[in-house]
Amino acid sequence: MAKQTSANLEAIVGEIPGPRSRALAESLRAHESRGVTYLADDFPIFWESASGALVTDVDGNRYIDLTSAFGVATSGHTNPAVVAAIAAQAQALIHGLGDVHPSRMRVALLSALARLAPGPLEKCFLSSSGSEAVDFALKTAYLRTKKPGIVAFEGSYHGLASSALSVTGIERFRAPFKPFVSESVTFAPYPSASASAAQNDAARSLRTVESALAGGCAAVILEPIQGRAGVVVPPRGWLRGLRELCDRHGAVLIFDEIYTGFGRTGKMFACEHEGIHPDLLCVGKAIAGGIPFAATIGTRHVMDAWETSRGEAIYTSTYLGNPLACAAALANFEQLERGGLVARAATLGAQLGARLETFRKNPGVVDVRGRGLMWGLELSSAALAFSVTKAALRLGTIVLPSGVRGNAITLAPPAVIEEDQLWRALTLLERALAQAEVVA
């Protein structure tokens, strides 16, 4: 039975997934590598279109998206200004000649990134995925220090290509590929501000990092807030502690802000909450409003560890600085800045956090944590997290399971989400929790 809701809210018109989604699932099963998409009778739905914070599936069901599609759509799905910039650029130049003959858009984008980046970060390397941005950062740190040892953190997620996987601290991704993951990585504990002994955990973590640096590690890579781990926010002062340790030991500090960057946490970059900056900053996801794009931005000193190109770059890729992606990113930055979306992520995020706190009364909710428009609900089990995800979908809102053990749900709505959409989606999520609790 179709339920009437207002045109800016969810509208579930039939069974979830509907017949078209199910038919597409069969076709996908036949032709996509089977390790990619989880297919079951009740999951997934196939997306047809999206706008702002609304997603419509191939069966005509409309959902409120609390994921921004992995944190990408901060300025909204198919943001009209981004769409217009892509369309205009597509008429002029879709693809350029990478590292050989640069496009004008690439120069404009590089300057914009240098302006937006915190502190003295001013030189960039452009790529197409977060994994690549991380790979470039790790290679840069090695060229600068000539030492392969790296400190990374338990629960971290930096991508799945081999070098990013080497610093990813979630065992289920690493275990099948042991021969490809570097052994020169030391994993330190990532402290959580939610833990009862948060400050002790932070001190213990810093001691582990310090002894690794004293033992020869020369780079530290981390997410200022861990995303895939279920949104883990470290205690205040810990990032600054890492900055001080790296300064003392001459180590390169790398912040992976692929998830947290471009306003997600209520500042343009999460490290700005502590008034510090890394030596290298990896960005991606929300950079270009949905076009695949990423970058590594660094201080001149660290980035100049790369020799000047003599005609053949030793690190580049076919789509480096793709003009379409540059145009999309520039339009997206304007939306974030002129549209006040970063400030909106802070103010709306505070209200979202307060509303989520009330979820603690549900016995399945173990923890609520986050900042800006990036929140995690830790639940009592992975089974519960997945059944809440499915129940929420059936009710008309999209959330993502996350967490090192799969027992969390991440909420990262677009910063353009309308208030009635956000509160409606939370009502649906609360209902989903109540339904799933009964089933689990």
Ligand X SMILES: Cc1ncc(COP(=O)(O)O)c(C=O)c1O
Q: What distance in Å separates the CA atoms of residue 407 and residue 81, rounded to the nearest whole number?
A: 37
User: Which one, of 280, 290, 289, 259, lies nearest residue 370 by Cα?
Assistant: 259
Q: Is 157 in the site for ligand X (CB under 6 A)?
A: yes
The identity of residue 170, as a single letter, is I
Report the length, in residues, of the chain.
440
Q: Is 52 in the site for ligand X (CB under 6 A)?
A: no
Binding mask 60-99 for ligand X (x = CB under 6 A): ----------x-----------------------------
Which C-beta is closer to ligand X: that of 68 or that of 145?
A: 68
Q: Is 401 in the site for ligand X (CB under 6 A)?
A: no
Q: What distance in Å separates the CA atoms of residue 440 and residue 433, rounded to the nearest whole number?
A: 10
340-359 positions binding ligand X, by CB under 6 A: none
Give the SS3 label for residue 52. strand
The identity of residue 316, as a single letter, is T
List all residues 6 or more positions away from 137 whose beta carbon is below 8 Å from its beta carbon. Answer: 221, 254, 256, 280, 282, 296, 298
The CB-of-257 to ligand X minimum distance in angstroms stands at: 7
284-303 positions binding ligand X, by CB under 6 A: 284
Would you give the distance in Å from CA 144 to the centre of its chain? 27
198-237 positions binding ligand X, by CB under 6 A: 223, 227-228
| Sole binder of ligand X in the list 106, 158, 273, 390 (CB under 6 A) | 158
Q: Is 262 in the site for ligand X (CB under 6 A)?
A: no
Among positive and negative, which fits the CA dihedral 362, 367, 370, 376? negative
Select from 78-86, 153-161, 314-322, 370-378 the region that touches ligand X (CB under 6 A): 153-161
Which C-beta is closer to ligand X: that of 27 or that of 37?
A: 37
Q: What distance in Å separates the CA atoms of residue 257 and residue 250, rounded to the nearest whole number?
A: 22
The CB-of-258 to ligand X minimum distance in angstroms stands at: 4
CA-to-CA dists, residue 412 to 288, 339, 341, 421, angstroms: 17, 18, 14, 13
Q: Is 258 in the site for ligand X (CB under 6 A)?
A: yes
Q: Is 131 in the site for ligand X (CB under 6 A)?
A: yes
Which C-beta is closer to ligand X: that of 291 or that of 428?
A: 291
222 — phi, psi (to 5°)?
-160, 160
Which C-beta is closer to ligand X: that of 82 or that of 254?
A: 254
Chain residues binding ligand X by CB under 6 A are: 70, 129-131, 134, 157-159, 223, 227-228, 256, 258-259, 284
